Amino acid sequence: MADLTLDTARKILDAAFAKAGELKLKPLVVNILDARGVLKIAAAQDGTSLMRAEIAHGKAYGALAMGLGSRALFQRAQEQPYFIDAVNTIARGALVPVPGGVLIMDGTTLLGAVGVSGDTSDNDEACAVAGIQAAGLKANAG
């Protein structure tokens, strides 16, 4: 598999929402970007709050832009805040460096990233990882 297909993205999306239901989380938004950073699929559960789609996109976009899951970006933001701020300035504020942005890997091939927002960052990340794994792929959360 060289590209992230729509069918695979749907599997990831559905499994991420299933995990959220299992954990009884707040309503989530899931955005899935391909390796180019182009939106492949996105959905919002009923009752999500304002800006959740933008936050989910920023988590996935940041992971792709830096080649790291957003948990690693969060850590780096704590250790080197000026660097992450500078990168986010270059990216016009598009990065959200908190857990919930997870790279989608097929072996060593980067297929894209999942961004989830709506509950705690740790729970958002757990749903992204569950979705990726349910599609038979490897998750890199950082």
Residue 1: pLDDT band (50, 70, 90) is: very low
Is this model's pTM higher than 0.85 or not?
A: yes
- pLDDT of 67 > 50? The answer is yes
117-133 burial: b if 16+ Cβ within 10 Å, else e: bbbebebbbbbbbbbbe
Describe the chain by its helix, strand, coil percentages, rounded to 5. Answer: 45, 20, 30
Rounded to 5 degrees, what angle do the CA atoms 18, 23, 25 make? 90
Termini Cα distance of the chain? 22
The pLDDT tens digits of the residues spanning 13-41 come to 999 999 999 999 999 999 999 999 999 99
